[in-house]
Structure 1
Amino acid sequence: MKVEIGRSLLQERMREASVSLEELAMQLRYKPERLADYIEGKRIMPLKTAVSIARTLGCTAEALYEWVPAD
């Protein structure tokens, strides 16, 4: 089944893991602004980034976005 990327769930996953934007950025050595862009939907996470974030937060890369069935 084909899917499209929906909204980012990064902020929700961070909340569940009790991790702030600044803490996550520091752990991954990413700029907080870049993570904020992912949260706000201004950028889509590359797969490598999504896997790194997911492993840090204790979830799957798929759990970082809503997935919408495509026509």
Structure 2
Amino acid sequence: MKIEFGRCLLREVLRRAGMKQIDLAERSSKTETQISDYINGRKYMSYRTAIEFSIIIGCHAEEFYDWEYQGFKKEE
């Protein structure tokens, strides 16, 4: 099975949490530009960054992307 990054959902996660990109930048080790790069698909966040953001926002790191599964066969 191969797992690939899909669309970044960080913007939606922030909206649900009542936060803006600037709020996340002020509370994390990332700049607004870096956060914008993740949101707009120019870069993928590292696992460490995803964990940091999930602690700040109060969600699971897996929620930041649509995940694409290739070659997955469901057991019957």
Q: Secondary structure at the match of 1:4?
A: strand
Counterpart AA for 1:17: A
RMSD after superposition: 1.0
Residue 29 of structure 1 is matched in structure 2 by 29
Q: CA deviation at 1:2?
A: 2.6
What residue ranges of structure 2 are gaps of 5+ in the alignment? 72-76
Q: CA deviation at 1:57?
A: 0.9
Q: Report the TM-score when normalising by structure 2.
A: 0.87
Divergent runs of 4+, >2 A: none
Distance 2:41 2:70 in 1: 19
Q: CA deviation at 1:44?
A: 0.3
What residue ranges of structure 1 are gaps of 5+ in the alignment? none
Q: Report the TM-score when normalising by structure 1.
A: 0.93
Q: CA deviation at 1:15?
A: 0.2
Aligned length, in residue pairs? 71
Q: For 1:26-63, what per-residue CA distance to the aligned partner results, in whole angstroms no more than 9, with x for missing partners?
A: 01132100000000000000110010011111111110
Structure with higher Rg: it is 2
Give 1:48-67 correspondences, 5 Å limit.
48-67=48-67
Percent of paired sites with the same residue: 35
Residue 9 of structure 1 is matched in structure 2 by 9
Distance 1:30 1:19 in 2: 15
Distance 2:46 2:69 in 1: 20
